[in-house]
Amino acid sequence: MTLTDEQLTRFHTDGFLLLPQFAKAELCDTIRDIALAHLKHKVPPVETEYEYEAKSKEEREKTVGTGVPHFVKEVSVRRLRQVYERDIVFREWMENEAIRPILHQVLGEPPVITLAHHNSIMTKMPHTSTETRWHQDFRYWHFENDNLVSVWLALENENDQNGVLEFIPGSHRMHFLAEQFDVKEYFLEDSPENRELIETKTSHALQKGDVVLFHCKLLHRANKNMTDSPKISFVYTAKGKSNKALPGTRSALFDEIELTQAALP
């Protein structure tokens, strides 16, 4: 499968693209079942809601996800980290053959998975999840350029009530000033300039098996989960092969997986 010219233009213009029903329902159910088992037992490494809220920008840049805080059993898990090494089912999804030509198209060169960022099962647990504020993922990543795209898989339906992704179309192509963000580099919502841009936000309710591709500099957010059921999603990030991680940064600490046989037809 490859993208049409219209789809590719839409991705580059908006910064995101929906691929409906890309993954089979059976695969989504299997991934979700394994993830629920890991969540039940809080299999490390994980990130908790407490950590997510408390970490400074500097702490997020240094975190390598190799341990579990002593308080983890008392708080809600926000995500399972380093999922590529957790289970062969997770690994096979991240190395999915069908998406390789698509990643090649949007990146403009052979894709390489970076295990340093995302590489996660993302959760929004009922009653304990928090809002994900407007941000750009690239804010604490360190590469030579911003040619990175994230692959988000909905393992069940995602909507306004349980925390579906929202995007500001085209924001990946915009230049922002430092004062438009707070100290943690979240996009300030109370400034008139930002507020006007935020009003252009958009979102699409997702069904099980839907995939969303989005650029690493695209502003995005999500509500907390206001339902009685957990929302569980899978996300990983791929970069262009020539885009190198900067030495000495967290981005360079983990392995990379080159997706071979990704040449366009």
- Average pLDDT (54-65) is 54
Nearest to 81 by CA among 104, 36, 57, 48: 48
From residue 112, alpha-carbon distances to 95, 101, 143, 147, 214 in Å are: 10, 12, 13, 11, 16
Is-cis flag, bond preceding 101, omega within 30? no
- Average pLDDT (152-164) is 97
- The model's confidence at residue 63, banded by pLDDT at 50, 70 and 90, is low
pLDDT tens, 88-123? 999 999 999 999 999 999 999 999 999 999 999 999
Q: Are 155 and 232 in contact (CB under 8 A)?
A: yes
**pLDDT exceeds cutoff 60 at 126:** yes
| Strand (E) or helix (H) holding 104 | helix 100-107
Distance CA 165, CA 153 (A): 11
118-131 burial: b if 16+ Cβ within 10 Å, else e: bbbbbbbbeebbbe
From residue 3, alpha-carbon distances to 19, 110, 207, 217 in Å are: 10, 15, 20, 21
- The model's confidence at residue 2, banded by pLDDT at 50, 70 and 90, is very high
Average pLDDT of the residues of the chain: 91
3-class SS shares of the chain: helix, strand, coil, % to 5: 30, 25, 45
Distance CA 213, CA 103 (A): 9
196-209 burial: b if 16+ Cβ within 10 Å, else e: ebbeeeebbebebb
**pLDDT exceeds cutoff 60 at 62:** no
Distance CA 188, CA 176 (A): 11
Distance CA 19, CA 228 (A): 27
Q: Could you give the domains of the chain? A: 5-258 (2.60.120.620)
- The model's confidence at residue 39, banded by pLDDT at 50, 70 and 90, is very high
Predicted TM-score (pTM) of this structure: 0.91
Distance CA 95, CA 112 (A): 10
First-to-last C-alpha distance (Å) of the chain = 9
Distance CA 244, CA 35 (A): 31
pLDDT tens, 213-263? 999 999 999 999 999 999 999 999 999 999 999 999 999 999 999 998 644
